[in-house]
Structure 1
Amino acid sequence: MNKADTPTLRAFALLEHLVKADRPLSLAEIVQDFEAPKASLHRMLAALEAGGLVIREPGGKNTYAIGPRLSQLGMNVVMHTGGRRVRHAILSRLVADLGETCNLTMLNETEVLYLDRKEAPWPLRLDLKPGSQVPVHCSASGKLLLAMLPREERGMLVRTLKLERFTANTITDVELLEAELDRIAYKQIGVDNEEFVAGIACVAAPLISVNGTCLAAIAVHAPIARTPLSRAMEFVPRLQEAARELAQTF
């Protein structure tokens, strides 16, 4: 047997195939596009499903998608690879320049996952460590990451969200949220105007890959008593500069 063609590597190649598809695939689609006998595919999919690496979509008996264990593995790789030191150094310089807390986030299903965070040296702060998750519909990074999705995918995701109210400014109407996302997609700047935590404003910028894909978001937040939203908006050019640096670390 070719050492480069072991059962383990074939299973890994199948996982890569499902990840690249960026949508659930039917068994017929997998059989058509993945070079392996149908019986072998059945065995591999059954083993991967038993391990939580793939799941069958509800209502789709033979439609497969990446599972929670694989999603978590991917997030852990991003959070703990060698690029993390470089990313943290960029965040640290940004905080030194702006004087406020900055964070790096990604979309994780229907929530925002904190990949990294650097606190400003102020006593008033939010305790959100790397690995924390916040709602997507009322955070600057979350709305930005939603807005940067392909429109059809974005619409499907928005309709699944529970638009819980956290403050008087939280957007809880689907149509209003869609309109807000359209504005954000046009400007490519996300804003949280006391929508998640009363008294806290936040501004976010996207990390864009060389092929135009939104990889993540970088954001700055602060109490409005110290840095009102109008002041936070002045940070946008420096945020965008840091976003371009950070995009090169992914």
Structure 2
Amino acid sequence: MTDDEPSDLIRSVSRALRVLEEVSRADRPLSVKVIARRCGLNLSTSYHLVRTLCYEGYLHRRPDGDYMIGSKVAERFHEMLEAFERPPRAAEVLRQLAAESGHTAYLAQLTDARLVVVDVAEGPRSPWLEDLQAGLETAPHATALGKALLLSLPPRIRQGILTEYGLRRFTAATPTSVEDVEEELARLRPGQVVEEYGQFREEVACAGAVVPGTQWAIGISTRGLSIPALARARLREALRDLT
């Protein structure tokens, strides 16, 4: 993958996507003037873009004239999640894992060098993690799900993914260099249940493993820096069920 600008870039499409991104990340509806300023666009262009996006259903104009994300964005989001070809019975196995262990269970995959959480089954013994929700990209270097998937890859591809994604620091325990991650993975073997303690969130531990014969990983999270033996055993059972 590359960040180089394509020679045939369509500027109007690029600007429309920039508008969508600014509106979606805002914590309140935005006026056209604010959208124009944040996107670095002139006011006339911004009016044309928001009107088009409203007509197509990707923005919604409120009675006060401000704009928020429209329903078509949610439709595309659900279509994106449905496009992933999950392992058979994946949703059922996740729900069972969460119910029997009491911990939130996750299903994730590396896609275009990004770790994407595709399904989540919440459990009462886990904290709610806003970055580990269905449809969101998260950190492969700081999560057990990501490490398990990275461990299954050849070193050259793994290092390329880490370099491209960047190694953001989430806590004091987060590895922040490719060498740190490689040193950690060198102590593991492919297919092993990978565990991380406080690297993604303070006082949260996670365990994850790749479903044999697939490019999927399932995992669990726990409150506190330990993973109960029962939860670890239920995770292994879920792996066998998916296999």
Q: TM-score, normalising length from structure 2?
A: 0.60
Aligned residues: 167
Q: Is the 8 Å Cα contact of residues 206 and 240 (structure 1) preserved in structure 2?
A: no
Query: Who is 1:160 aligned against?
Result: 164
Query: Who is 2:109 aligned against?
Result: 106
Distance 1:186 1:204 in 2: 12
CA shift, 1:181, in A, is 1.7
Distance 1:104 1:82 in 2: 10
Distance 1:173 1:82 in 2: 32
Q: Which amino acid aligns with 1:93?
A: Q
- State yes or no: 1:206 paired with 2:206: no
CA shift, 1:119, in A, is 0.4
CA deviations 1:107-151 (Å, max 9, x no partner) are 122321111110013584223431111111101101111111123
CA shift, 1:221, in A, is 0.1
Query: Who is 1:237 aligned against?
Result: 233
Distance 1:109 1:235 in 2: 30
Stretches of structure 2 that go unaligned for 5 or more consecutive residues are 2-77
Query: Who is 1:49 aligned against?
Result: none
Query: Who is 2:192 aligned against?
Result: 188
Stretches of structure 1 that go unaligned for 5 or more consecutive residues are 1-22, 24-71
Distance 2:93 2:189 in 1: 25
Once the two structures are superposed, the pairs formed by residues 53-68 of structure 1 within 5 Å of their partners are none
Once the two structures are superposed, the pairs formed by residues 41-120 of structure 1 within 5 Å of their partners are 76-78=82-84, 83=88, 86-120=89-123
Q: Which amino acid aligns with 1:241?
A: E
CA shift, 1:230, in A, is 4.5
Query: Who is 1:32 aligned against?
Result: none
Q: Which amino acid aligns with 1:165?
A: R
Distance 2:211 2:226 in 1: 21
Distance 2:120 2:159 in 1: 29
Distance 1:138 1:199 in 2: 14
Structure 1 residues 158 and 100: alpha-carbon distance in aligned structure 2, compared to 1, 3 A threshold: same
Give the match's secondary structure for 1:158. helix
Query: Who is 1:223 aligned against?
Result: 223
Q: Is the 8 Å Cα contact of residues 109 and 117 (structure 2) preserved in structure 1?
A: yes
Q: Is the 8 Å Cα contact of residues 103 and 118 (structure 1) preserved in structure 2?
A: yes
Structure 1 residues 95 and 184: alpha-carbon distance in aligned structure 2, compared to 1, 3 A threshold: same
Query: Who is 2:155 aligned against?
Result: 151
Query: Who is 1:172 aligned against?
Result: 176
Distance 1:132 1:103 in 2: 12
User: Identity of counterpart residues, as a percentage?
Assistant: 29
Q: Which amino acid aligns with 1:96?
A: A
Distance 2:110 2:220 in 1: 17
Query: Who is 1:129 aligned against?
Result: 133
Q: Is the 8 Å Cα contact of residues 113 and 131 (structure 1) preserved in structure 2?
A: yes
Structure 1 residues 178 and 90: alpha-carbon distance in aligned structure 2, compared to 1, 3 A threshold: same
Structure 1 residues 77 and 89: alpha-carbon distance in aligned structure 2, compared to 1, 3 A threshold: same
Give the match's secondary structure for 2:235. helix
Q: Which amino acid aligns with 2:235?
A: L
CA deviations 1:38-87 (Å, max 9, x no partner) are xxxxxxxxxxxxxxxxxxxxxxxxxxxxxxxxxx98864226x794xx22
